[in-house]
Amino acid sequence: MKYLQERARFVIARPLARTAQSVLYLAYDHLTDQPVVIKVLAPTRRGLHWPEAVRAFLHEIKMVLALQDIRGSDDGWPYFPRYITHGRSVKGYYYYVQSYIPGQTLAEILAAGRPSDAITIAYELCRTVRILHAHRIVHGDLHPQNIIVRRDGAVVLVDFGLSRYFYEQVPYLRDMGRPLFTPPEQIVGRPLDERSDLFALGLILAELLEVETLPPTTQRLIMHMQRPLIDERNVQLDDLIAELVMVEHLQQVQAAYRTLSCWLMVLVIVSTLIIALFYLAFFLY
């Protein structure tokens, strides 16, 4: 573990968030001329005791490093923040630095009501989670605050403090997670796999989408994801993604039909006016 020697490299702009375990700061990286996020271990009384907090924080850094092998198709990092560095400050604070993701959290978007592109967001979210699971990693803390919709429409997952590999035992993370979104098996300390993330993902989709308007198969998949028993959450994300693609295509067809109907109505009105003007001119002259 190296000590922070890049004090002139990073300049903290403002705090971003405070959790029971850490503080996040928005900072500026003079080396790359880019904004970054610095996460500093600073457990509160509600958090873990210091020895366990350090182990949990180092585990998080390990998982963030594991994400660096997952590259996307555009700028190379569309799904997860990019790791930059980590270390320990001269005062003994553990920290790590990652790229700043411009965009809005899903919580901020939902606070303004259901977005018009909810199906697209749902598709991108499911796609990102599937990519994570393809590398046998459970996020472990999915909720709207940890989901960022970038300006280009890509969905990014952040905060991997509770993440782990499939079936990895991490005893100091037991009974940790966001209320309502944490699956029962995670609360009692059982091993997790991709079905554990499906519990929270189903709840998020139920809030994001008008589920009652979706096709019955899509509704059934989302409802099965929310079941309390892990063995009853046997939903394949590929099946749900295919359903969302179908729904999005249907919405596009309906939107095109509505647009065409509007233009036809305009054409009828204009034609009627032209004919009326023609007859009016005929009778006047």
Numbered ranges of CATH 1.10.510.10 in the chain: 102-253
Burial string for 221-234 (b: 16+ CB within 10 Å, else e) reads: bbeebbbeebeebe
Report the 10 Å Cβ neighbour count for 2. Answer: 9
Q: Which is more confident, 108 or 276?
A: 108
What pLDDT score was predicted for residue 266? 75
d(CA 228, CA 226): 6
DSSP character for 106? Answer: H
Average pLDDT rounded to a whole number, residues 12-35 = 93
Give the C-alpha separation, 86 to 13, whole Å. Answer: 19
- At CA 204, angle to CA 68 and CA 213, rounded to 5? 130
Contacts of 47 (CB under 8 A, 6+ apart): 19, 20, 21, 53
What is d(CA 56, CA 164) in angstroms, rounded to the nearest whole number? Answer: 11
Assign domain 102-253 to its CATH architecture.
Orthogonal Bundle (1.10)
Residue 3: the pLDDT is 42
Torsion of Cα atoms, 111 then 60 then 42 then 16, to 10°: -30
Q: What is the DSSP letter of 232?
A: G
- Position 232 scores a pLDDT of 94
- Asked if 17 and 26 count as a contact pair (C-beta separation under 8 A), the reply is no
| pTM of the model as a whole | 0.84
pLDDT classification of 263: cutoffs 50, 70, 90? confident
Location of each CATH 3.30.200.20 domain in the chain = 1-100
The residue-averaged pLDDT of 66-88 equals: 78
Q: What is the pLDDT of residue 20?
A: 87
Please report, as a single letter, which amino acid is at residue 155.
V
Give the residue, 170 or 284, on which the prediction is more confident: 170
Q: What are phi and psi of 37, to 5 degrees?
A: -115, 130
Please state which architecture CATH assigns to domain 1-100: 2-Layer Sandwich (3.30)
Which pLDDT band holds residue 10 (cuts at 50, 70, 90)? Answer: very high
Average pLDDT (252-265) is 65
Strand order in the sheet with 155-157: 103-105, 147-150, 155-157
* Nearest alpha carbon to residue 75 among 150, 157, 161, 159: 150
Contact indicator for 183, 199 with CB cutoff of 8 Å: yes
Share above pLDDT 70 across residues of the chain, in percent, rounded to a whole number: 90
- Bridge partner residues of 155 (DSSP): 149
**In whole angstroms, what is the distance from residue 42 CA to residue 88 CA?**
12
Tell me the pLDDT of the chain averaged across its residues: 88
